[in-house]
């Protein structure tokens, strides 16, 4: 459905999901496992950049379904608003500074309960 892959870390001890940190912010453990993200999240904050040069783009803080946050570019600046659901467009293989998201157009479903093991 999308091109890229996005990985994050999960604390082995308290299951907190984290992104690009060396230790767990909740329990300070360094015992982290890498998991693949679903690539779907919700915009929590967005800044519009580049207006002054006539090429606006959106820099968003996205809360992923796995409950970690990531700052990344959103491709459709006019639909990048708080609360919008976005999915991964380009992942880490494009370079760590090139991660981007786009609006997620799947039909709205009944909210799925997060699965916990």
**Both structure tokens of 62:** 């996205």
Choice from 3, 7, 14, 44 touching Zn ion (CB under 5 A): 14
Piece in contact with Zn ion (CB under 5 A), picked from 12-20, 71-79, 92-100, 107-115 = 12-20
Cα distances from 55 to residues 52, 80, 88, 99, in angstroms, run 8, 15, 21, 19
Piece in contact with Zn ion (CB under 5 A), picked from 27-35, 53-61, 67-75, 89-97 = 27-35
Classify burial at 75, counting beta carbons within 10 Å of its beta carbon; exposed 0-12, middle 13-18, buried 19 or more.
Answer: middle
Piece in contact with Zn ion (CB under 5 A), picked from 23-31, 70-78, 79-87, 94-102 = 23-31
The site for Zn ion (CB under 5 A) is made up of: 11, 13-14, 16, 24, 26-27, 29
């Amino acid at each position: 459905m999308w091109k890229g892959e996005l990985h994050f870390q999960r604390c082995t001890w308290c299951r907190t999901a984290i992104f690009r940190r060396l230790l767990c912010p909740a329990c300070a453990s360094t015992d982290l496992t890498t998991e693949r993200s679903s690539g779907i999240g919700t915009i929590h904050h967005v800044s519009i950049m580049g207006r002054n040069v006539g090429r606006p783009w959106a820099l968003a803080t996205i809360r992923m379904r796995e409950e970690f946050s990531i700052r990344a570019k959103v491709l459709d600046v006019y639909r990048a608003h708080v609360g919008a659901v976005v999915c991964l467009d380009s992942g880490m293989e494009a370079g760590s500074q090139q991660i981007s998201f786009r609006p997620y157009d799947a039909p709205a479903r009944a909210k799925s309960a997060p699965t916990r093991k």
